[in-house]
Amino acid sequence: MTSSITRRRVLQTGVAAAALSTLPHFAMGQANPVVKLRILETTDLHVNIFPYDYYRDAADDTVGLARTATLVKGARSEAKNSLLFDNGDLIQGSPLGDFVAYRQGMKKGDVHPMVAAMNVLNYDCGTLGNHEFNYGLDFLQNALGAAKFPLVCANVIKANGETLQKPWLILDREFVDEAGAKQKIKVGVIGFVPPQIVQWDKANLDGKATTIDIVDAANKHVPDLKKAGADIVVALCHSGIAGGERKGGEENAALHLAKVDGIDVILTGHQHFVFPGGKEFNNIPGVDVKAGTLHGKPAVMAGFWGSHLGLIDLDLTKDGNAWKVANFRTEARPIYDRVDRKVVAKVDSDATVMAAAQAGHDATLKYVREPVGTTAVPIHSYYSLVADDASVKLVAEAQSWYVADQLKASAFKDLPILSAAAPFKAGGRGGPNYFTEIKPGPLAIKDMADIYIYPNTIRVVKITGAQVREWLERSAGIYNQIDVAKGGEQELINPKFPAYNFDVIAGVQYKIDPTQASRYDDNGKVVNADAHRIKDLTYNGKPVADDQQFLVVTNNYRAGGGGNFPGADGTTMVFEAPDLTRDAIMRYIIEKKEVAPKADGSWSLAVPSGVTMTFTTGPNASAYQPAGIKVEKMGDAPEGFVKYKIAG
C-alpha cells in the first residue's frame, strides 16, 4: 500500500517537472496552449466483429472489433482528447458479411451488423474501402445508411459530377489543453479509395461512378478544407504505402499523399500490413518504419480484421492563430501476441460491441453449417504454392463445368476451355493457420467460403496461346530466382507476391523453372525480356502454338486488369457471368453430390540439384504430402510457421 502511494507521488512529480521544464509558459495561463490529441484508427475490419473464424467454425483470438474496441476504450481512458476513425473495407470479407449480402439482404433502414457494432463505439468519421463496392451501390448506401458517424470520400464521382460521399468535413471540437482550459479546434477529415474500383467492380459501377487519382483529389479539396478553417487535416486513406515515382492512378498512394501541403496526419490501410513496424516497408525512401512517418508526417496502418488499433498522439501548439503539430508519436497496438508460437489474447471482448451484432453472428453460424455435398479427398492449401493442389483444382473444375454449360450454345462453343484459379488462403500475412483445410466428408457453406474467400464473379476471356504462356510467366513471378551456382539453402517464395496472383491454369500442362529470372516484376511489368520460366507448355499432349485460340475462365478482378496479367486488361472479355464463382462451386458440388478434386500434376516445379529450396507452411501440413514432388520438414520458422525443403 505504502509503496504504491509513494510511487504514484513520484510519478506525478516527475510528470509535472517534465511538463514545466519543456513548457515554461504553462503556469502563466493561455499564452502557448498545448493540446494533446490522440487519433485512433481501425481499418480493413471486413465484417470481423466477434473473435471467431467462421470458416473453421471456431473461436479466434486474432480478429474482431469486439477485441479492438477494448483497446479503443483503454486508449481513450489514457488520453484527455481523442478521435476515432475507420479507414474502410467494412461490409465485405467474412461469412457474416456474405450472410447479410446474400441471404438476409439489406433494405433501406436495415442496420448492417458491422455498422451496429461500430455505432456502439462513437466513431467520429469513416471512409470507404474498395470492398464497399463489391455488392453494388444500393447495398452500400443501405448498409452504411444507419451509421451514426459521417463518411467522407473525395475521389469517387457520380454520373452527375458530384462526389458519392461528402469529400471532406470539419469536426468542430472542443479539447482540453494541458493547463485544463478549453480550446476550440477544427479537425478537417478527407477520405480516399483506390481508383481501381472502377475496374475491380466494373459491373457495379459502369455508368454510375468514376474515380480520380488520390493525390489529384487531395490537391483539389485540401485547399478548400483549409479555407473552411481546418486547423489540422487528417487523411483517411484506404490505400497503402509503396515507393516509386508517382505516375498517377496509384493503388497504394499514401506516400505520395503525404507530400500534399495541408495534410497533417495520414491513416493508411488496404494492404493489411502494420505500420509503424512491418518489414514490408523497409528501404522505401521517405518511409520511416520505426518512427511511423511518411515524408516526416505521422502515419499508421492498423493491420486487418481488427488485429490492431492504430494510434497517433499529437501535441498541438498554437503558432499565432494557427494550430500546428509540434510533436507526435505513432503506434500500432495489437489485440494479441504470439508467445511460444501460440496466440495469446491481450484483451477481452467488449460485451456491448458483441451484443450489437449478436443476432447476425448467430444467424451466420446457422447459415455456414448448412450442408452442400461431400468430398472424397482432403482439400487443403498447405502446398498450393509449390505443387498442384486440390483446393485450387476444385475451383478450376467448377469454373470449367459452369462455363461449358453457359457457353454450350454460343459462338465460342468449340474453343478449348482453360480455367485459371489461385490459392487464396496460403499463409503469408494471414498467419500459420491461414490455410484451407477440409477433411474428407461433408461440405458445408462455410467450406465454400473457405475454398473461395472473395465475392468474385465468373468472367471468360478469349486469348491466344502466347497470352496463356505470358499469363503463366506473370504467375511464376511468385518464385525468387534460385541460384544453382551458389547452391546451399535458398528461399523459394517471394513474400511480397500475393498468393491470389499465383494463377494456376488448368487444362494445359507445364513446368515452372525457378532457376530462370522472372519475366515480370511484382506489378506485372516485363523486367527480363529474355527470361522464360514456363517450360513444356502443352495442350492435349501437343505444344501450345502462339496463335492457338483459348477461352480462359477467370474472375472479374483478373479479367478487368487486377494484377496486370497479360491478356487480361478488360479488352479480351467475351463472357460476364451473373454468378459468383463461389456459387458456381456450390452448384457444382450440389450437382455432383460428391467431389474428388484431383491434383494430377498438370503443372510442376523443375527442381534443380545442388540447391535446397525452402518454403514455409502451416504446422498442420505435416498430415499431408503434396502431389508430384517430395517435401521434408526442416523445423520451426518464425511466427508459428514451419520450414520445409523440396526434396525432389
Nearer to Mn ion, 34 or 193 (CB): 193
Question: Least distance from C-beta 68 to Mn ion, angstroms?
Answer: 15
Question: Least distance from C-beta 482 to Mn ion, angstroms?
Answer: 32
Question: Least distance from C-beta 537 to Mg ion, angstroms?
Answer: 34
456 binds, among Mg ion, Mn ion, none (CB under 5 to 8 A by kind): none
450 binds, among Mg ion, Mn ion, none (CB under 5 to 8 A by kind): none
Is 41 a residue that touches Mn ion (CB under 5 A)? no
Cβ contact 341:640 at 8 Å: yes
Q: What are phi and psi of 26, to 5 degrees?
A: -50, -55
Nearer to Mg ion, 136 or 378 (CB): 136
* 233 residue type, one letter: V
Residue among 165, 169, 141, 145 at smallest CA distance from 155: 165
Binding segment (CB under 5 A) for Mn ion, from list 43-51, 393-401, 415-423, 613-621: 43-51
Q: Please report, as residue ranges, which positions from 313 to 372 form the binding site for Mn ion (by CB under 5 A).
A: none
Question: Least distance from C-beta 275 to Mg ion, angstroms?
Answer: 15
**Alpha carbon distance 332, 269 (integer Å):** 12
Binding segment (CB under 5 A) for Mn ion, from list 42-50, 239-247, 443-451, 525-533: 42-50
Say how many CA atoms lie within 13 Å of 340 toward its Cβ.
0
256 binds, among Mg ion, Mn ion, none (CB under 5 to 8 A by kind): none
CB atoms within 10 A of CB 619: 17
130 binds, among Mg ion, Mn ion, none (CB under 5 to 8 A by kind): Mg ion
Q: Quick one: residue 47, left, alpha or beta (phi over 0 = left, psi -120 to 50 = alpha)?
A: left
Nearer to Mg ion, 33 or 428 (CB): 428
Please work out, in degrees rounded to the nearest 5, the angle formed at the alpha carbon of residue 325 by the alpha carbons of 323 and 327: 140
Angle between helices 390-406 and 581-592 (to 10 degrees): 90
Binding segment (CB under 5 A) for Mn ion, from list 36-44, 400-408, 421-429, 569-577: 36-44
**Alpha carbon distance 103, 427 (integer Å):** 29
Question: Least distance from C-beta 241 to Mg ion, angstroms?
Answer: 13
Cβ contact 437:57 at 8 Å: no
C-alpha cell at 86: 475507420
Radius of gyration of the chain (CA): 26
Angle between helices 351-368 and 65-78 (to 10 degrees): 170
Nearer to Mn ion, 42 or 475 (CB): 42
CB atoms within 10 A of CB 111: 18
For 163, residues 6+ apart whose C-beta sits below 8 A from its C-beta are: 153, 154, 155, 156, 157
Is 89 a residue that touches Mn ion (CB under 5 A)? yes
What beta strand segments (E) does 335-370 contain? 336-339, 342-345
Distances (CA, A) of 418 to 292, 554, 571: 45, 9, 18
Question: Least distance from C-beta 131 to Mn ion, angstroms?
Answer: 6
Nearer to Mn ion, 273 or 520 (CB): 273
Q: Please report, as residue ranges, which positions from 562 to 591 form the binding site for Mn ion (by CB under 5 A).
A: none
For 514, residues 6+ apart whose C-beta sits below 8 A from its C-beta are: 476, 479, 480, 481, 482, 492, 533, 605, 606, 613
Question: Least distance from C-beta 578 to Mg ion, angstroms?
Answer: 24
Residue nearest to Mn ion (CB): 89
Q: Please report, as residue ranges, which positions from 390 to 409 form the binding site for Mn ion (by CB under 5 A).
A: none
Nearer to Mn ion, 272 or 645 (CB): 272
Binding segment (CB under 5 A) for Mn ion, from list 81-89, 202-210, 465-473, 610-618: 81-89
**Alpha carbon distance 113, 132 (integer Å):** 14
Question: Least distance from C-beta 212 to Mn ion, angstroms?
Answer: 21
Nearer to Mn ion, 44 or 264 (CB): 44
Nearer to Mn ion, 26 or 281 (CB): 281
Question: Least distance from C-beta 251 to Mn ion, angstroms?
Answer: 12
Residue among 62, 94, 76 at smallest CA distance from 365: 94
437 binds, among Mg ion, Mn ion, none (CB under 5 to 8 A by kind): none
264 binds, among Mg ion, Mn ion, none (CB under 5 to 8 A by kind): none
Binding segment (CB under 5 A) for Mn ion, from list 39-47, 170-178, 287-295, 555-563: 39-47
330 binds, among Mn ion, Mg ion, none (CB under 5 to 8 A by kind): none
Question: Least distance from C-beta 455 to Mn ion, angstroms?
Answer: 13
Nearer to Mn ion, 94 or 616 (CB): 94
**Alpha carbon distance 125, 282 (integer Å):** 30
Nearer to Mg ion, 239 or 614 (CB): 239
**What DSSP string describes 405-436?**
HHTTTSTTTTSPEEEEE--S-BSGGG-TT-B-
Question: Least distance from C-beta 207 to Mg ion, angstroms?
Answer: 23
**Alpha carbon distance 7, 91 (integer Å):** 47
Residue among 188, 184, 89, 176 at smallest CA distance from 135: 89
Nearer to Mg ion, 130 or 556 (CB): 130
CA dihedral defined by 229, 36, 84, 228, rounded to 10 degrees? Answer: 0
Nearer to Mn ion, 60 or 89 (CB): 89
Nearer to Mg ion, 83 or 90 (CB): 90
* 241 residue type, one letter: I
Binding segment (CB under 5 A) for Mn ion, from list 40-48, 132-140, 276-284, 572-580: 40-48
Q: Give the strand pairing for 156-158 and 336-339.
A: unpaired
Is 177 a residue that touches Mn ion (CB under 5 A)? no
Question: Least distance from C-beta 215 to Mn ion, angstroms?
Answer: 21
Question: Least distance from C-beta 272 to Mn ion, angstroms?
Answer: 6
Binding segment (CB under 5 A) for Mn ion, from list 87-95, 450-458, 493-501, 524-532: 87-95
Question: Least distance from C-beta 238 to Mn ion, angstroms?
Answer: 8
Is 44 a residue that touches Mn ion (CB under 5 A)? yes
Nearer to Mn ion, 89 or 231 (CB): 89
Q: Where along the sequence are the contacts to Mg ion (CB under 5 A)?
A: 89, 129-130, 270
If residue 17 lies in a helix (H) or strand (E), which one and from where to where?
helix 2-22
Binding site for Mn ion (CB under 5 A): 44, 89
